[in-house]
Structure 1
Amino acid sequence: MVDRFRLVPASYVYLLRPGSRGDEVLLQLRRDTGYMDDHWAAAAAGHVEQDETAYDAARREAAEEIGVEVGSLGFLTAMQRTRHADPIDERIDFFFACREWDGEPRIVEPAKCAGLGWFALEGLPDLVVPYERFVLQRLGTTLESYTTYGF
C-alpha cells in the first residue's frame, strides 16, 4: 500500500475597510509562534479542525484571535502551497474577506501577537508572510479561485 501525504487545511480572514488610499486590511504582527515571527499576517487565521468547514474555522478564528463576530465572508481563493519538496509541508489554505463584523478587533492572544495594524493594500509593510502578500496584492484584480504557491 502506498502512503499518501495529507494536506493541512487552514482558514484566513482579512478584515477590510475603506481608507484614504483605498481599502485597508487588518494585519497582526506574529511573535513566538515558531513560524514567520516578526512578520505581518492575517489578523485571524488557523487550522480547520475535524468536522469543521473552512467557513466555520474562519468564524471561530476571528472570535478566538481578534474578538469579533464576522458577518458575511467573501471567498477569495483556495491556495495549495508548499515550502519544500517534502510533501509533508503541503497545505491547503482558504482565504476570506470580511467587511462587516461585530466588536472592536483586539489582541486576544498576546503571547502570539505583538500588535494589530490597519494597512492600505497599496502600502503593505515590508515583512508580510510571502504567500499572504501574494493574495493581498491581487485582491480585486487577478486573484483566481484556485492558486498555488511554492511549487
Structure 2
Amino acid sequence: MPHATVVDVLLLLTRDDTVLLARRRNTGYADGQWNLPSGKLEQHEHVIDAMLRETREEIGLSLSPNDIRMVTSIHYRAPEGHARIGFVFHADGQNMNPVNQEPEKCSALDWFPMNELPDPIVPYTAAAIEMFCAGIQFGVCGWSDSAGQLP
C-alpha cells in the first residue's frame, strides 16, 4: 500500500541573522512552542500557492512567487509517530512588517537569532532552521533508523 503523508510548507522569513517565529496556542499540537509560520498543503494546491496563502493568512504578508525560494525539504517523524514532508521556503524580511493574523492560534510573533533559538521550539522547526543554516537541501529527522539522520 502506498504511503500517504501530510505535506507542509514552512516560511523562513529572515532579517540579517534572525528568523521570525510564532508561538503556537489552542491548536492541540505543540501549544506554547515556537514554530515557523507554516501550514498544510490543501487539495488541488501546489506548494508555492500554499506557501503564499499561509503567509497571507498567518502573518499578513502578500508575497509573490519571486519573493520566495525553496531552500530545503525535510521528511520528519514526530515522537508520537506522525510523519510529514516539509518544503521550506526563504524570504528576506528586511523591509517587511509581519502581523499576527491568527491570534486564536498564535500568542506571539518575534524575531530570534538563528544560532540562539528559543526554548521550547517545535523540533521540526529547529531541524529546518539548522538545515537551512548548514546549506543542507534535504534531510530526514525523527525516524528510528538512525542512518541518514539530520541534523
Which TM bucket (shorter chain)?
0.7 to 0.9
Alignment of 1:1-151 (within 5 A): 3-18=1-16, 23-42=17-36, 44-71=37-64, 72-83=67-78, 89-100=82-93, 104-143=97-136, 145-151=137-143
Taking structure 1 as the reference length, the TM-score comes to 0.84
**Residues in 2 aligned to 1:52 and 1:125: alpha-carbon distance in whole angstroms:** 32
* Offset at residue 118 of structure 1 (A): 0.5
Equivalent residues of 2:72, 2:132 under 8 A apart? no
Once the two structures are aligned, what percentage of the paired residues are identical? 33
When normalised by structure 2's length, the TM-score is 0.84
By how many angstroms is 1:70 displaced?
Answer: 2.2
Cα contact 1:41–1:132 (8 A) shared by 2 = yes
* Amino acid corresponding to residue 56 of structure 1 in structure 2: D
The 2-side partners of 1:97 and 1:25 are apart by 10
Please state how far the C-alpha of 1:140 moved relative to its aligned partner: 3.3
Change over 3 Å in CA distance of 1:104–1:131 after alignment to 2: same
In the alignment of these two chains, the number of paired residues is 141
8 Å CA contact 1:70, 1:100 repeated in 2: no
Alpha-carbon distance in structure 2 between the residues aligned to 1:133 and 1:35? 16
Q: Deviations over 1:27-59 (max 9, x none)?
A: 0010110111100001x2101111211111111
The question of whether the paired residues in 2 share the 8 Å contact of 1:6 and 1:90 is answered with: no
After TM superposition, the runs of 4+ consecutive aligned structure 1 residues lying more than 4 A away are 100-103
